A = this chain, B = another copy of it.
Amino acid sequence: MFEFQFMGTGNAGGVPLWGCDCPACEAARLDSNRQRRSCSALIRTDEGITLIDAGVAELGQLFRFEEVRRVLLTHFHMDHVQGLFPLRWSECEQRIPVFRPDDPEGADDLYKHPGVFEFRPPSADFETIELPGFSLMTLPLIHSRVTQGFLIRHGDWRLAYLTDTRGVPEQTMKRLQDEPVDELVLDCSEPPRVPAPRNHNDLTLALAVWRQSGAKRLWLTHISHRLDLWLQQGGELPDGVYVASDNLVLSPDDVA
């Protein structure tokens, strides 16, 4: 058994955005399937669950302690780590390993009081980590804080999870081109916009990265209410480009 699931597909404010009455936010209030939590995902195997980022607040209700085998952090912005703060006070003896980029600050007092979490030595860029049922390679990204994406391999299937980022570094692009992925999950916080955002992709940048990478499919994530509104108002995406949604599962078995 192996599956990748989007847990959250929203930007830091999420959808609906607090206090916003735009048509996209109003639609999300009426239909929970349109809501977008903090950007995060998970991998489910026979061994248990690997969390990719931890910005969703209700992790403790969604997952039993025993099933969470590890956490992979892309970076230490609060929208990607805030869910760890209450969980750390668990009094279980078992420690949950946390893989992370080389960010000596971390978030607030998380390094000082890690509780049940065991922060592994920082992962180098392009480091391969072998795990039961899959492997991953860290890919450096371009963001306001040191950030790594993950190239996830299960058998012949490849998924790249790249958020938060604005474009990608040359070496990361080369790695993607060397071994084109089936599924490219990519930061696309904004609709096409001039100038492009400073620390995230807009749709124009996301499409350019996708085309250059040779990936089969592109999944947009880290989505703002502005991108949802643009789509709601008729914005069109090329074939092979999909908008991710919370709880959506991508599984190698789905691939024709």
Contacts and interface: CB of A to CB of B under 8 A. Distances in A.
A86 B18 contact: yes
Contacts of A167: none
A17 to B, nearest CB: 6
A109 interface: yes
A66 B108 CA distance: 29
A18 B85 contact: no
A192 interface: no
A79 B86 contact: yes
Given A82-B82, A108-B108, A91 B60 contact: no
Interface in A57-106: 57-58, 60, 64-66, 78-79, 82, 85-87, 89-92
Given A78-B108, A78-B109, A82-B82, A87 B18 contact: yes
A38 interface: yes
A58 B79 CA distance: 14
Contacts of A60: 14, 18
A85 B90 contact: no
A249 interface: no
A13 interface: yes
A90 B58 contact: no
Interface string A106-122: 01110000001000000
Contacts of A86: 12-14, 18, 38, 79, 82
Given A57-B57, A78-B85, A79-B85, A17 B108 contact: no
The interface centre, meaning the residue of A64, A65, A86, A90 with most chain B CB atoms within 10 A of its CB, is A86
28 contacts: A13-B86, A13-B89, A13-B90, A13-B91, A14-B60, A14-B86, A18-B60, A18-B65, A18-B86, A18-B87, A18-B89, A18-B90, A18-B92, A18-B116, A19-B65, A19-B90, A19-B92, A19-B116, A20-B90, A20-B92, A57-B82, A78-B108, A78-B109, A79-B85, A82-B82, A82-B85, A107-B108, A108-B108
